[in-house]
Amino acid sequence: MTPTESHIDSELVRQQVRDGYSQIAQEGSSRRRASCGCCGGSSPITANQLAQAVGYSTSDLAALPDGANMGLSCGNPNALAALQPGEVVVDLGSGGGFDVFIAGRKVGPTGRAIGIDMTPAMIAKARKNVAAYRAQSGLDNVEFRLGEIEHLPVADASVDVVISNCVINLSPDKPLVWREIARVLKPGGRVAVSDLALLQPLPPAVLEMVEALVGCVAGAVLTSETERMAKAAGLENVVLTSKSGYVEGMVDWQDPLYQKIISHLPAGAKPSDYITSLEVTACKPPAAGRGDQSSS
C-alpha cells in the first residue's frame, strides 16, 4: 500500500466514525436511552445500568448533566486514574462529556478536565452541558476542544493524566495516538484507558462490517499490540487487565451489533473468544535527574 492509499484509507475510517458518532449525538437519548456498549445498538438495559455494570457509582451518574451519558463506555478510566485534586486531565474522544464532567468534580476547583473529540456534533452537545455542570457543581473547570486524538490540541508536557473510554481502537493510526499521549503528559504523568482489544484476530467478515468499526470492534488490535505501542511511545509500567465479562454481558443483553458479529463467527465461537474489554495503565518516565541527591 502506498502512503497516498494509506492516507485515503485513514481519512475514510475517520469519516465513517465521525458520521456514526454525529448521528448518535444528534439522536441523543431518544435513541440511546436503551443503548449499550461502545457505540453499539439498542438493548434492554439503560445507559446508566451499563455504566454501573462497568464500575461507575450511582453518585457519579446522578451528578451528570442530562444526556451526557450515552451508553458508550466499556470501562471506567476515571476510577483507574485515581484522579487527585488540582490535576489536569485530558479525555480522548470525550463525546457528550460523560467522563470529563465526572473528572472535573474529582480534580476540583484547582484542577482542569479537558475533553477532545473530532466530531463537531459531540463537541456542541458537550459544550451545551457545561452550564448545567457549573450550576450543579459550582465548578468552572471543564472545557471541550475539537480535534483528532492523533493530533491533540494540547501543549507538550502540560497534562497530569490522560484518560480514554472505548475510543483509541477507532483510530486508524494507534501508534501515533500513543505517541501523542506521551507528548502531552508531564514527566511522571500517567494514562488510564478502557478500550476494546482482541484476544485473537477477528474473521475477515467481521472486519468488513462498518457497524463493527463504529462499534469499536473492527478497529481493535491484539492486547499484545496495545502493550507494544504504549512502550514504543516511551511509556513505562504498562499494565493490561482483561475484563471479558463486559463482552459476555453485551451478548446476554442481546446488543444487535454483537448479535450480528456472532452470525459471522465460526460455528460454536462466541464474541468473548475474540474480544475483551481492556484496562491499560502506564506512566511517563520522570524527568532526568529528578530525585538525584548527588552534590557537585
Contact 108, 77 (CB under 8 A): no
Read off the C-alpha cell for 116: 477532545
Angle at 42 between CA 40 and CA 45, to 5 degrees: 110
Looking at the structure of the chain, the number of domains it has is 1
Residue 296: count of CB within 10 angstroms of its CB: 2
Determine, yes or no, domain membership for 288: no
Determine, yes or no, domain membership for 207: yes
Contact 231, 238 (CB under 8 A): yes
Determine, yes or no, domain membership for 154: yes
pLDDT digit string, tens, across residues 188-242 = 999 999 988 889 988 887 777 656 655 567 678 899 999 999 999 999 999 999 9
Determine, yes or no, domain membership for 294: no
Contact 78, 99 (CB under 8 A): yes
Read off the C-alpha cell for 16: 465513517
Nearest to 83 by CA among 159, 140, 196: 159
- Tell me the angle at which helices 245-252 and 256-263 cross, rounded to the nearest 10 degrees: 100
Angle at 150 between CA 220 and CA 237, to 5 degrees: 65
pLDDT digit string, tens, across residues 147-181 = 999 999 999 999 999 999 988 988 889 999 999 99
pLDDT of 133 > 80? The answer is yes
pLDDT digit string, tens, across residues 23-63 = 665 665 433 333 334 444 444 567 766 676 666 778 777 77
CATH number at residue 116: 3.40.50.150
Read off the C-alpha cell for 86: 488540582
Determine, yes or no, domain membership for 296: no
pTM, to two decimals: 0.80
Range of the domain at 190: 3-283
Residue 121: count of CB within 10 angstroms of its CB: 17
Determine, yes or no, domain membership for 122: yes
Which residues on adjacent β-strands are paired with residue 163? 91, 192
pLDDT value for 219? 77
Nearest to 93 by CA among 145, 56, 55, 54: 145
pLDDT digit string, tens, across residues 244-263 = 777 776 666 666 767 777 78
Contact residues for 292 (Cβ-Cβ < 8 A; gap 6+): none
Determine, yes or no, domain membership for 186: yes
Determine, yes or no, domain membership for 82: yes
Chain position carrying cell 456542541: 124
pLDDT value for 262? 79
- DSSP letter, residue 37: S
